[in-house]
Amino acid sequence: MKPRVRFAPSPTGYVHIGSLRTALYDYLYAKGQGGTFVIRVEDTDQTRLVGDAVEGMVYALKWAGIEADEGPVADENGVIHEIGDFGPYTQSDRLDIYKPYAEQLIENGHAYHCFCTKERLDALRQEQKEQGLTPKYDGHCRNLSKEEVDQRIAAGESYVVRLKLPENRVIAFDDRVKGHIEVNTNDMDDQVLMKADGFPTYHMAVVVDDHLMEITQVIRGDEWLISTPKHVYLYEAFGWEAPEFVHLPVILSKSKKKLSKREGDVAVEDFRRKGYLPEALVNYVALVGWSPDTEEEIFDMQALIEHFSFERVSKSSGIFDLDKLNWVNNHYIRSYPIEKLTALCKPYFVEVGYCDEATFEAEFDKMCQVVEVLRERLNKLEEIKEHLALFMSDDVHPEDDEAREVLSQEHIADLLNVFVGKLEACDTLTAEDVKPMLKEIQKETGYKGKMLFMPVRVAVTGQVHGPDIAQIMGILGKDSVIRRVKFTQSQM
């Protein structure tokens, strides 16, 4: 049977990097096995709803190269619609589906109505806490007679439906990553399945939907492992075959804490904004918690699909290492098609005022040259903003003592005069013209090596170190380079 896997996010307004990895492993497994990747929106917790969150989620995943075979997708205009034969794929559109299943469980003795008030439950929890016990429902309504239940419902009392777990039974299942898991029902809680407002809880909806959508593997973060025995029992109570469970180790920060907004970026959207390339983020995130069967560390989506397996997913948590991500991103920045990379840099060019949008388009070839000369220095595209200063003002000042020292040498006045003369004598200045020009200067003046190249670099850029000076001069062009050298002379 071809696998059917689902990514089941609760829309929160952004895609956490851990969710990206879950979606990715779902996707890789489905694609590797010729199966189906489903996205199901779990939005039954109405208190946590965020407008546009589904759109944002679909866009972020699409950006990363992950699109659903079934579930919400974006058309070419960015409009979200659902595709697939098992819909609707949004739980709030499925509310009518769950109630009959809850009733079935009640009839079969696997669930019961509970009329306990919030006050009673709060007091119970408080009492248990004071006694050092894990808070748990005490079964107060487990054995109400049918008559009493009917009466109280007819009287308009508010109620929830709870799972009726058998006492002292071991629930066991084999997780593909975590191995064999056993839990005694005495250590479990009679979970609420249907809330007082008629909405299903996550536990109810997830089991019903995974069954109805014929999901074969439930792949999710290991924070859900604790809930899985309840789900396993629910499958049994319904008389359904449970899917295979695959719980992925959590991603921690370098300080071994949960990856949270407080510790830095966690949203895919943040990484995108800073100029991480989707291929890099996907490549890196795949490696947090999974080790490939080769020494290779650079994988495009196709290679990930070919190599990915649950057998090489680690049982223990993975560490999110920003330096490593930067390294991977730099790799992709260096090898990306230059036009594509340059187009992605547009917002940064405009932001620092290097040019406006129209000029960016009109002089796209020049923009490509700028990106080409800078790209190897970038860990993320937004860093280009710092480097663009190099091309902006012709009033260049030596940036540090080292640069000032270069310009304080005795031969500088003479050298710069000859340099300006040469520049003025040429029609145009391209990167290719620079080397022969410097050769000529060397011949005429006798200045060579560091005595020649350093002053030229500092006079043009103010810096002792930097990208290839011939490329820079080619981009700046004749007039700008002349203005720069003359400005430098005027400051001496």
User: Among 5, 8, 58, 384, which residue sits at the site for ligand GLU (rule: CB under 6 A)?
Assistant: 8
Nearer to ligand GLU, 251 or 406 (CB): 251
Torsion of CA 80, 84, 89, 94, to 10 degrees: 120
Per-position x/- string for 168-207, each x denoting binding to ligand GLU as judged by CB under 6 A, each - no binding:
--------------------------------------x-
Torsion of CA 360, 363, 365, 367, to 10 degrees: -40
Nearer to ligand GLU, 202 or 299 (CB): 202
The one-letter code for the residue type at 387 is H
Torsion of CA 481, 486, 491, 492, to 10 degrees: 110
**What number of chain residues touch ligand GLU (CB under 6 A)?**
7
450 is a catalytic site residue: no
d(CA 202, CA 45): 8
- The 3-state DSSP class for residue 277 equals coil
DSSP assigned state of 11: P
10 binds ligand GLU (CB under 6 A): yes
Closest approach of ligand GLU to the CB of residue 28, in Å? 16
Per-position x/- string for 13-42, each x denoting binding to ligand GLU as judged by CB under 6 A, each - no binding:
-----------------------------x
Closest approach of ligand GLU to the CB of residue 75, in Å? 25
Closest approach of ligand GLU to the CB of residue 79, in Å? 24
Applying CB under 6 A, the span of 8-16, 101-109, 176-184, 402-410 interacting with ligand GLU comes to 8-16
Between residue 265 and residue 284, which ones bind ligand GLU under the rule CB under 6 A?
none
475 binds ligand GLU (CB under 6 A): no
Other CB atoms within 10 A of residue 57 CB: 26
Nearer to ligand GLU, 178 or 220 (CB): 220
User: Among 9, 200, 278, 474, which residue sits at the site for ligand GLU (rule: CB under 6 A)?
Assistant: 9
d(CA 268, CA 270): 5
Q: Two tokens at 15?
A: 């895609």
| Nearest Cα to Cα of residue 94 among 148, 54, 40 | 40
220 binds ligand GLU (CB under 6 A): yes
Selecting among 129, 254, 257, 261, the annotated active-site residue is: 261
C-beta of residue 26 within 8 angstroms of C-beta of residue 5: yes
246 binds ligand GLU (CB under 6 A): no
User: Among 199, 224, 364, 453, which residue sits at the site for ligand GLU (rule: CB under 6 A)?
Assistant: 224
| Residue 203 backbone class (left: φ over 0; alpha: ψ -120 to 50; beta: rest) | alpha
Residue 91: exposure state from Cβ atoms within 10 A (0-12, 13-18, ≥19): buried
d(CA 202, CA 212): 15
DSSP assigned state of 216: S
263 binds ligand GLU (CB under 6 A): no
Active-site residues, by number, are 261
The footprint of ligand GLU (CB under 6 A) covers 8-10, 42, 206, 220, 224
